[in-house]
Amino acid sequence: MISGRWSAIFQSVTDTRSNASFLLPILLIAVSPPAALAQETDPYDDIDATAIVRQADQKLRGESSYGSTSITIVRPDYTRELSMVSWAKGDEYYLILITQPARDSGSSFLKRGKEIWNWIPTIERTVKLPPSMMSQNWMGTDFTNDDLVRESSIVVDYEHRVLGEEEIDGYLCWKIELIPHQDAAVVWGKILTWIDKKDFMQLKAEFYDEDEFLINTMQGSEPKEFDGRLLPSVLRMIPADKDGHLTVMRTLSLDFDLPIPDNFFTVRNMKSVRPED
Amino acid sequence: MLIIIAWRNIWRNRLRSIVVILSIAIGLWAGVFTMALVNGMTEQRTRGTIRTFVSHVQVHTPEYVADPDERYYIEDPLNLYAVLDTLTGVFAYSPRMRLGGMSSSPTGATGVMIYGIDPDVEQTVTDIHSRITTGSYFTSEYRNPIVVGEKLAEKLKVHERSKIVLTFQDENGDLTAGAFRIVGLFKTDNSVLDATNVFVTQESIARLYGSLRTHEVAVFATSLEESVPIREAVNQAVPDVEARYWGQISPELGYTADVLDQSLYIFVLIILLAMAFGIVNSMLMAVLERRHELGMLLCIGMSKGRIFAMIVLETVFVTSVGGPLGLAMASGSVSFFNHRGIDLSVVGEGLQSLGMATVVYPALGLTYYVNITLMVVATALIAALYPARKAISYPPAEAIRTL
Amino acid sequence: MLLKIAWRNIWRSRRRSMITMSSILFAVFFAVAMRSLQFGTYDRLIENVVNSFSGYIQLHQKGYWDDQILDNAMAVQDIPELISREIEEVIGVYPRIENFALAASNEKTRGVLVVGIDEGQAENMLGLSTKITSGKMFTSASPGVLIGERLAKNLRVSAGDTLILIGQGYHGRSAAGKYPVSGLISFPSPTMGSSLVLLPFSESEVLFSTFGLATSLVIQIKNGKDVTNIRDKILALTDSSSIEALTWQEMMPELVQTIQADSSGGMIMIMILYLVISFGIFGTLLMMMNERQYEFGVMLAIGMSRLRLIGVLLVEMIFLTLGGIVSGVLLAMPLQHYFKANPIQLAGRQAEVMESYGWEAAMSSSTDLSISFTHAAGVLIVTLVISLYAVFVLSRIRPVEAMRP
C-alpha cells in the first residue's frame, strides 16, 4: 500500500514517527490541510487506528448502561419529537422504551441476540421484526433498525487507517478511514470518522457508498460528562442528498455499569417496563 | 354422365374455374395460416416462460407447496436426483435454495427472493444467463457474487460491481446478513420478477445460512410433452416430495397454451365467410355469363334438378382441386415460416418494449388442419348452392337470347 | 357524357352490378366487423383492468407518482365535489390512501400494501361485493379489513380472525391498528391476491394519521375514449402547479404495450383478410370483364375510343365501389352496436381463465367511426388497384375476337 512506500522513503529524513505524539501539538498550529500532510508523509502508519476506534466505541458501551434520549426529526414539511429511555447490556441485549409523544408512549423495542421485538401497547401486541423491517427507518428517523441495534460493528467489520488530524469544534481529532472487510455485511464503501485525540469522542463521521458519493454525515457536539465519561451529548444525522432532512439525537442522561439481570431483556418484561427513577 | 359433363365444364372455362379454385385455396390458406400464427405466438410465449422462469417441472415438499417457508426443504435430495437421472425425458435439473430476504444499498432497500444456485447447472435449465445485459453470469472471482435484475439495480441505485447487503433469517431463525458483489445484471420480459429475483451461489448463501438446503428442484425436459410424464414418475417414485408441471405452477400459462382462443375461431369464421362471399360472387357472375349455355341445356331437355346437380358437382370438383392446393400452400407456408420466422416488428413496437421476441414461428397441430379443411369445404359447397339455384331460375327462352 | 353512359351501364344489368357491388360491400363489411371485434374486445379488457384497480384517471400531489410515499399525499378539500359538478363525463371521484405496512396474524407477518377505500369506490368501481368469497363486505357499522385469499392463506387467517397492521404513518408518526378480517376476496392477479389489504377509508385515516388527505383521487368516467380530454379539463379546474393528473396509459404503460403486442397479431389477421377479400373482388371483376366481352367488342367496333371505354368502366367502378363501401359500412354499424351492447359470450376453458382474472369472458365490438373510415378507405384503394386490371384488359381487347359468341 502507498503508506508503506512513502514511510520507507521518508524514514531516513524524518525519523520522528516514534515521537509523533510529541511533535503533533506543534505541527497543529502550522498545519494547513492535513490531507496534504498525509499525502506526502505518512507518520500515521504505525498508529494503531483500530485501537483508537475500539476505544471510542468502548466509551459508548460498558458492561451495561441506562440512558434517556430525545430525538428530533426535521423534515422540510414538519418536525417531530421523540423521547425514550434505553437499557443495554453488552452487545447482546438492548431495550428501548418510548416515553414521548403520548401517542407512542409505552412502545418498546427489544433486541435479544439477533432477534428484534416490538411491543405496541395501543394494539396490545408484540411483533418480531422480520428481515424486511431491518433496513426500514426506525420510527421515522434517519437511522435504520440496523443502526439501532448495531448489527454491524465499527470495530470488527472494518479495516482502520489514520489519514491525518483535523480540528473539530476546537478538539483535535484523528481522521480515520474505515474500509469494510470484503465479507462484512455493511452497505458502505467507506466511512471517515473523526475521533478526538484526548477523550476519544467520535465527533464526526461521513458515510460513503462504493462510488465515493457521500450519503450520510454524522456530527457529534456539546460534549458532556456522563457518569464519568466525556461524550458528545448531541448527535446529528444528515443525509447528503435530501435538503432539509435531519435527525438530532440528544442524550439527556447516561449511566454505566448498573446491574441489570439478563431476564430484564425479555418479551414479557418489555410490556411492563417503566423508566427508572 | 353428369360427372363427365361437370368435369368438362370446369375446364371449358378455365378462367372462371381458376378463379374459384384459387379463392378456395386462398381461403383455406388464410384460415390455417391465421391459426398457425396465433398458435405459434402462444406456444412461443409458453416455451419462453418455461425456459426463463417456470421450467417444465418443479419439485418441492408438499408443505412448501402449501406455504413457501424456508423451513420446508427436501431432506433426501439424492434420492430424487437418482430418480430424475433414470428418466429419459429429463434434459437437466437444477437444485435451488430459496430464501426470502431484504436487499439494501447505501440509498435504498427492498424485499427480494434469494435463489442459491449452482450456476453451471442452472444454466442448463433456465436461460437467465443469456439475458445478462451487463457483466457476466458468475464468471468472476468474487467470494459472494450475485446476479440481479436491471430493475432491482435501478431501485437500489446500484450497478454492476456494486456491493449490496442481503439480510435474511438463518437456519436458526436469527437475522443474518452478508455483503454481495453484483457481477451481472439481467433483463427479462417480466419487470416484476426482475426486481425481485436475485441469484447467488449455493456455496455463499449456505455459508451464511448455516447449511445447504434444497428447497426446490427445477427440471427442464427434452420436450413440452414430457412435462406431465416426468411429474407422474417423480410423484410415484419419490414419496416425500410433490412435483408439479408448469401448467399447475402457472395456471394462466397452462390455460392459454391448452386451448386455442375461441375468439380466434370467430376471426377465422369471418375470414371464411369472406371467402364464401367471394366464391358466391364469382360464381354468380359466372352463372350470369353462362346463361346462354344453361338456357340451352334447359331447352334441349335437361331437367332443372340435373342442372343444379351439375353445378354442385362442378363446385365439388373445383373444391377438390382448390382444397389440396390450399392445404399445400398452407402447410408449405407454415413450415417455411416455422423455420424462418416472421418478423413482427413491422407491426408491433409493443412487443419489443415488453422484451418479447418479435419473431413468430407459426405452428399448427394436425387436428386444426383437418378442422379448417372441413370448414372450408363445407363453406364452399354451401356457397355454391345459391348460384346453383340462380342458374336454374332463368326462364330458358330469355336465356338463349343473346345480349 | 361518360357519366351518363356509366350510369346506364350500371342499371342495364342490375344483376351484374349488384354482384360487383356486393363483393365490395362484403369486403368492407368483414374488414370493419373483424377490426371492430378486435378493438371492442381490447376496450372491454381495458375497462375491466382499469376499473378493477387503477381507474381511468388519477389525481395526486405533484410528484407522487414518481415517489409514492405517504408524505406525498394530497389535500382532498373540495376537489371531488368540484370535479363531479363541473365535468359531466365523470361519474365518480374516490379518495384513496395507499401505504406499505407490516401485517401480522397470530402466526405470521407479511409486508402488505394497505389500501383505504370508501364504500362508494368499493361498490361502484371495484364491485367488491361480488368478489367476496368468504365473510362479508366491511361497512361503517362493522369496520374491518378485506384481504386476498392468498394472503389469508399465507398469514393463516380466515374471516373473523384479527389482523394487525403496523408501519409508519404521515409525517413519521407510527401507525398501528388491530382489525377483524371482515372477508376474503378473490383477486384477479396473484400479486394482488397476496399483498393487498383493503381498509375502510376512514379507518385508514386514523391508522396513518392522514386526516383530510389522500394519496390519490381515483376518477371513474363514462367513456374510456375521452380520457385525455377529461384529464385536461380536470387539470384546468384544479391547481396544476400542485396537482398532477395521470391517465391509465401513463400509469400502466405495460398494459398499453401488451395490447399493442396482441394487436400486432390482429393486424396480420386483417392483412390476411384483405388478401381474401381482394381476391374476392378480383374474382368478381374478372368474371364481369369476361361476361361483358361481347359488349365491349361492340362498343369498340361502333367507334367508341378505347380511352373513353376505359373511362366509362372506371366511372362505373367508382360508382359501384362507393355504393358498396357506403352500404358495407351501413350494414356493419348495427352489428357494431348490437355486439357492443350484447357481447359474444365465450365459454369453456378460455372463459374460465378470463373470469379467474376478474374479466368478462366476452368479445365486444367497438363502435368507433374511425374503424369504418379506415377500412372504407382501405377497400377503396384495393378496388381501384384491382380496377387497373380491368383497364389492362380493355386496352388489349380486339373487337372482332370479342364479338365472337
Q: What is the pLDDT of residues B100-130, one digit of tens each?
A: 888 988 888 888 999 999 999 999 999 999 8
Q: Which residues of C touch B16 (CB under 8 A)?
A: 287, 290
Over residues B344-372, mean pLDDT? 67
Nearest to B174 among A113, A136, A209 (CB): A113
When pLDDT is averaged across residues C379-394 and rounded to a whole number, the result is 86
Interface probe for A, chosen from B113, B163, B164 (most Cβ of A below 10 Å), is B163
> pLDDT (tens digit, 9 = 90+) per residue, C346-372?
776 666 666 665 566 777 888 888 888
Using pLDDT thresholds of 50, 70 and 90, give the confidence band for residue A17: very low
Label residue C107 exposed, middle or buried (CB < 10 Å: 0-12, 13-18, 19+): exposed
Cβ–Cβ of C254/B191 closer than 8 Å? yes
- Any idea what DSSP says for residue C346? P
Q: Which three cell numbers stand for residue A173?
A: 481529532
- Listed in sequence order, the residues at least 6 apart from A159 whose beta carbon sits closer than 8 Å to its beta carbon are A50, A178, A179, A180, A181
- Please give, rounded to a whole number of angstroms, the shortest distance from the CA of C228 to a CA of chain B: 20
Three cell numbers at C34? 373483424
Note whether A128 contacts C: Cβ–Cβ < 8 A.
yes
Q: How much is the pLDDT for C300?
A: 85
Please indicate, yes or no, whether residues B168 and B34 belong to a single structural domain of this protein.
Answer: no
**Cross-chain Cβ contact A123/C164 below 8 Å:** yes
Is B364 domain-assigned?
yes
Report the residue of B99, B104, B164 to disrupt the A interface, i.e. the one with the largest count of A CBs within 10 Å: B104
Query: Could you tell me the pLDDT band of residue B234, with boundaries at 50, 70 and 90?
Result: very high
User: Which residue among B100, B163, B176 places its CB closest to the CB of A210?
Assistant: B163
B49: pLDDT strictly greater than 50: yes
What subunits make at least 3 CB pairs under 8 angstroms with A? B, C
Number of CB pairs, chain A paired with chain B, less than 8 A apart: 72
According to CATH, the topology of domain A47-89+138-259 is outer membrane lipoprotein receptor (LolB), chain A (2.50.20)
What would the grid cell of residue A10 be? 521518508
User: Between chains, do A78 and C176 touch, taking CB under 8 Å as contact?
Assistant: no
C276 min Cα distance to partner chain B (Å):
6
The strand ranges marked E within A181-270 are 190-196, 202-208, 214-226, 229-239, 246-256
d(CA A99, CA A274) in angstroms, rounded, equals 9
Among B205, B240, B275, the domain boundary falls at B240
Q: Are B170 and B76 found together in one domain?
A: yes
For the whole model, what pTM was predicted? Answer: 0.76
Q: C117 falls in which pLDDT band (50, 70, 90)?
A: very high
- The pLDDT value given to residue C154: 85
DSSP secondary structure string for all residues of C261-302: HHHHHHHHHHHHHHHHHHHHHHHHHHHHHHHTHHHHHHHHHT
What are the chain B neighbours of A241 within 8 Å (beta carbons)? 107
Q: Give the H or E element holding residue C253.
A: helix C253-291
Which residues in chain A have Cβ-Cβ distances shorter than 8 Å to B104? 135, 187
Let me know if residue B251 belongs to a domain: no
Q: How many CA atoms lie within 13 A of A161 on its CB side?
A: 16
Q: Which three cell numbers stand for residue A210?
A: 462504493
Average pLDDT over residues C21-31: 87
Going by pLDDT thresholds of 50, 70 and 90, the confidence category of residue A6 is very low
- Contacts for C232 with CB less than 8 Å, ≥ 6 apart: none
**A40: its cell numbers:** 506526502
Residue A68, min C-alpha distance to chain C (Å) = 20
A-chain residue closest to C178, CA distance = A123
Give tens-digit pLDDT for A142-176: 776 666 655 567 888 899 999 999 998 899 999 99
Domain spans, chain A: 1-46, 47-89+138-259
Contact yes or no for C23 and B251 at CB 8 A: no
Q: What is the pLDDT of residues C207-231, one digit of tens each?
A: 999 999 999 999 988 887 888 889 9
Contacts of B66 in chain C (CB under 8 A): 153
- Grid cell in block for residue B248: 399447475
Q: Left if phi > 0, otherwise alpha if psi is -120 to 50, otherwise beta: which for A191? A: beta
Q: B320 and B342 share a domain?
A: yes
Has residue C292 got a pLDDT over 90?
A: no
The dihedral region occupied by B364, where left means phi > 0, alpha psi between -120 and 50, and beta the remainder, is beta
Q: Which of A123, A127, A137 sits opposite C109 (nearest CB)?
A: A127
Shortest Cα–Cα distance, C238 to chain B (Å)? 32
Establish if B250 belongs to a structural domain.
Answer: no
Asked if residue B353 and residue B325 are part of one domain, the reply reads yes
3-state SS class at A89? strand
Please report, for chain C, the start and end positions of each structural domain, with discontinuous segments joined by +: 2-50+255-403, 63-241
Position B313 confidence tier, pLDDT thresholds 50, 70, 90: confident
Same structural domain for residues B294 and B166?
Answer: no
Position A14 scores a pLDDT of 25
DSSP state of A19: G
Q: What is the pLDDT of residues B145-175, one digit of tens each?
A: 999 999 999 888 899 989 999 988 888 877 7
Give the whole-angstrom CA distance, residue C278 versus residue B22: 12
Omega into A101 within 30° of 0, i.e. cis?
A: yes
Concatenated DSSP letters of C230-245: HHHHHHHHS-TTTEEE
Given a contact cutoff of 8 angstroms between Cβ atoms, the answer to whether B361 and B38 are in contact is no
Q: What is the C-alpha to C-alpha distance for residues B240 and A75, in angstroms, rounded to an integer?
A: 55
Judge contact between C342 and C335, C-beta under 8 A. Answer: no
User: Which residue in B70, B268, B277, B281 has the most chain C C-beta atoms within 10 A of its own C-beta, making it the best mutation to test that interface?
Assistant: B281
- Taking CA atoms, C108 is separated from B243, C23, C102, in Å, by 26, 68, 10
B282–C280 CB contact, under 8 Å: yes
Rounded Cα distance, C214 and C68, in Å = 12
Tell me which residues of chain B, numbers 48 to 67, contact chain C at a CB-CB cutoff of 8 Å: 66-67
Contacts of C351 in chain B (CB under 8 A): 262
The contacts of residue A251 (CB under 8 Å, 6+ apart) are A67, A68, A69, A224, A226, A231, A233, A234, A235
> What is the distance in angstroms between the Cα of A35 and the nearest Cα belonging to chain C?
39
CB contact (8 A) between residue C168 and residue A137 = yes
Q: Is the pLDDT of residue A12 over 60?
A: no
CA distance A140 to chain C (A): 4
Residues A250 and A72: beta-carbon distance below 8 Å:
yes
Per-residue pLDDT band at B274 (split at 50, 70, 90): confident
- Give the residue on B whose Cα is nearest the Cα of A213: B106
pLDDT value of residue A2: 26
Q: Which residue of B has its CA nearest to C14?
A: B288
The rounded distance, in Å, linking the Cα atoms of A3 and B104 is 33
**B240, B270, B301 - which closes a domain:** B240
Of C37, C260, C287, the CB nearest to B19: C287
Least Cα distance to C105 among C151, C142, C146 occurs for C151
Name the percent of chain B lying above pLDDT 90.
28
List C-alpha distances in Å: C157 to A9, A131, C108, C184, C186: 72, 22, 9, 10, 15
Q: Do C173 and A103 touch (CB under 8 A)?
A: yes
**Chain C residues 91-130 with a CB less than 8 Å from chain B:** 111
Of A210, A211, A207, A212, nearest to A238 by C-alpha is A207
For B178-191, b where at least 16 C-beta lie within 10 A, e where not — what string?
A: bbbbbbbbbbbbbb
Chain C CB contacts of A118 under 8 Å are 166
Mean pLDDT of chain B: 83
pLDDT at A219 over 90: yes
Residue among C71, C104, C166 whose CB faces A77 most closely: C71
3-state secondary structure of C367: coil
Residue A4 has pLDDT above 50, yes or no: no
Question: What SS3 state is found at C40?
Answer: helix
The average pLDDT across B39-48 equals 79
**Comparing C-alpha atoms, which of C180, C179, C174 is closest to residue C209?**
C174
| CB interface of B with C, residues 267-286, below 8 Å | 267, 270-271, 273-275, 277-279, 281-282, 284-286
Q: State whether A135 and B144 contact (CB < 8 Å).
A: no
A5, pLDDT greater than 50: no
Domain membership of residue B349 as a residue range: 2-49+258-400
* Whether residue A33 has pLDDT greater than 50: no
The pLDDT assigned to A21 comes to 29
Predicted pLDDT of residue C114: 94
β-pair partners for A98? A84
To the nearest whole Å, the CA of A131 is away from the closest chain B CA by 5
Q: Please give the grid coordinates belonging to residue C405.
A: 359468341
Does the structure show a pLDDT above 80 at A199? yes
One-letter amino acid of A229 = R
How many Cβ atoms from other residues are within 10 Å of residue C263's Cβ? 17
pLDDT digits (tens, 9 = 90+) for B369-395: 888 788 888 888 888 888 888 777 766
> Which chains have 3 or more CB–CB distances shorter than 8 Å to chain B?
A, C
Reply yes or no on whether the pLDDT at C138 is more than 60: yes
User: In angstroms, what separates the C-alpha of A187 from chain C's closest C-alpha?
Assistant: 23
Lowest-confidence range among A85-99, B192-206, B339-353, C100-114?
A: B339-353
Task: State the pairing for strand pair C145-148/C174-185.
Answer: parallel
pLDDT at res. C120 = 84
Subunits in contact with chain C (3 or more CB pairs closer than 8 Å):
A, B
ipTM reported for the complex, 2 dp: 0.74
**Of A217-226, B6-15, B202-211, which range is least confident?**
B6-15
Å between A105 CA and nearest CA of chain C: 11
Q: Do A80 and C164 touch (CB under 8 A)?
A: no
Question: How many CA atoms lie within 13 Å of C321's alpha carbon, on the beta-carbon side?
Answer: 23
Quick one: closest CA in B to A112, which residue?
B174
- Boundary of a domain, candidates B211, B240, B269: B240
Residues C105 and C157: their CA atoms lie apart, in Å, by 7
Helix (H, G, I), strand (E, B) or coil at B232: helix
Smallest Cβ–Cβ distance between A125 and the set C164, C172, C174 belongs to C164
Which residues sit opposite C58 in a β-bridge?
C218, C246
Residue B268 to residue B275: CA distance in whole angstroms: 10
Looking at residues A28-41, what average pLDDT do you find? 41
pLDDT digit string (tens) for A47-65? Answer: 888 888 888 888 877 788 8
Whether residue A44 is predicted with pLDDT greater than 90 in this model: the reply is no
Helix H or strand E segment including C369: helix C369-396
Residue of C nearest to A142 (CA): C172
Contacts of residue B151, defined as CB under 8 A and 6 or more positions apart, other chains included, come to: B187, B191, B194, B195
Contacts of A77 in chain C (CB under 8 A): 71, 171
Model pLDDT, residue B255: 59
Among B282, B348, B403, the residue with its CB nearest the CB of C287 is B282
Q: Are residues B44 and B66 in the same domain?
A: no
Of B148 and C42, more confident: B148
The pLDDT, as a whole number, for residue B347 is 56
Chain centroid offset of residue C242 CA:
31
A204, pLDDT greater than 90: yes
Question: Could you tell me which chain C residue has the CA closest to the CA of B38?
Answer: C265
